Amino acid sequence: MRILLVEDDRKIASFIVKGLKAAGYAVDHAPDGEEGLHLALTQPYDTAIVDIMLPKVDGLTLIGKMRAANVSTPVIILSAKGSVDDRVKGLQTGSDDYLTKPFAFSELLAVSRRSCGGRAGLRKPPA
């Protein structure tokens, strides 16, 4: 299974990448929204984990552009913004799940496993 992580905080990104790799996932990391969007639109992923507050392109814009391009890769938002309004906005933008920071890695792993469950990245929805 292949996961895209779009996270600008190096310490958090390193922690997540190490944990996901130890769990058997292949992980690509993008440190900003622009690079994350490029990877999401050009590479197949089973799941994308996206921060909202990113340099260059914010996470909600990234998700919106993925969905506009018919990229149906499941998206998990991982953000410090944890109000009900923030979570609802994230889900309405097209994400599949929303976790707030700080988070338990076991929870992120469980949500990632559920998201990857048999779904392949870059699939277009049926017409």
pLDDT digits (tens, 9 = 90+) for 68-120: 999 999 999 998 887 788 888 888 888 988 888 888 888 888 888 888 774 43
What is the rounded CA–CA span in Å between residue 37 and residue 39?
A: 5
Q: Could you read off the pLDDT of 38-82 as tens digits, one per residue? A: 999 999 999 999 999 999 999 999 999 999 999 999 999 998 887
Torsion 44-119-106-9 (CA) sign = positive
Per-residue model confidence (pLDDT) at position 126: 35
Per-residue model confidence (pLDDT) at position 118: 42
Per-residue model confidence (pLDDT) at position 117: 72
With a CB cutoff of 8 Å and minimum separation 6, the contacts of 89 are 60
Per-residue model confidence (pLDDT) at position 5: 98
Q: What is the DSSP string of 17-60?
A: HHHHHHTT-EEEEESSHHHHHHHHHHS--SEEEE-SS-SSS-HH
The least confident of 4-8, 99-103, 123-127 is 123-127
